[in-house]
Amino acid sequence: MTQATLAPAETFHLTPYTPHCRVIAEEGDHAVIGVSSGNSFFSAQRLHGLARWGMENFHQVDFVYTDLHVADMFEALGYPPDDARRKAVKNLRGVRAKVTNAVQEADPSGDRVRARPMSALTLAPAYQRIHTRIQGLLETDQEFRAACEQLTAIFLDGKLAPGEAASARQTQVCLDYVCAEAPLFLDTPAILDVPSSVNCYHQALPLADVLYARGPGLRASRNQGHGILVPAEGEQRDDRGDGLGDRTDRGDQGVRL
């Protein structure tokens, strides 16, 4: 798929996923920047830079950090329930503090840049409607199911022993995790009541191939865009961390999202 690169501001490049995504990005109404707990890509310094970049390019920016199914994921990867909960609380406390500090420094008034946990969005009727639809499509839409399963395989890569197949529990938790975030890729404008929005993430995700394909099927709304947001050339990158913890040993590996 042909991609067009939006001119960078300061130290970041946003590559809109399609030409129409580029139009939405250039309108500059709103951006969502997804933040994964425990992922070393989202250092405090980088989050401060992302907040400044957002202020320069968009009228409003929401940093949304994942706080759903985190303990479940740790438990599915082998942590005892109490340890999984403690580890999830520790990770979420850290990411919440980093995101909040970056947002408050960039926009003390909170009028243009905000920090939100994913769980807060679940109260929106539009989110609930889209989430319910997505869960149903997992059973009926093979294209969507295949993309979610591909994401699951990516998340679990390196977390299992060589030759070990993912358990039903691990697969289900990954699917729950994906479905919790997917509404923001489908229709952020409806969920957050903004004219248009670009969902920004630092990695290409298989789900985008589905949502921005031609023809029938599950597709992003007309005023929903997506883009890959990465440090500009020359800035040192460290995105080796996983969504639920950095790679230190097999027992402490997490899931990149």
**Amino acid (1-letter code) at residue 106:** A
Residue 96 Cα distances to 6, 91, 243, angstroms = 29, 9, 14
State how far the Cα of 213 lies from the Cα of 210, in Å rounded to an integer.
Answer: 5
Q: Residue 38: phi, psi to the nearest 5?
A: 80, 0
Active site residue 36: yes
- Asked if 4 and 223 touch (Cβ cutoff 8 Å), the reply is no
Edge to edge, the sheet with strand 60-65 lists 6-9, 12-16, 224-231, 197-201, 30-35, 60-65, 113-117
Q: Which of 36, 37, 196, 197 is catalytic?
A: 36
Residue with tokens 């997505």: 134
User: H-type helices in the chain, by residue range?
Assistant: 19-27, 44-57, 70-76, 81-106, 118-121, 125-140, 142-156, 168-181, 183-192, 206-211
The catalytic site residues sit at 36
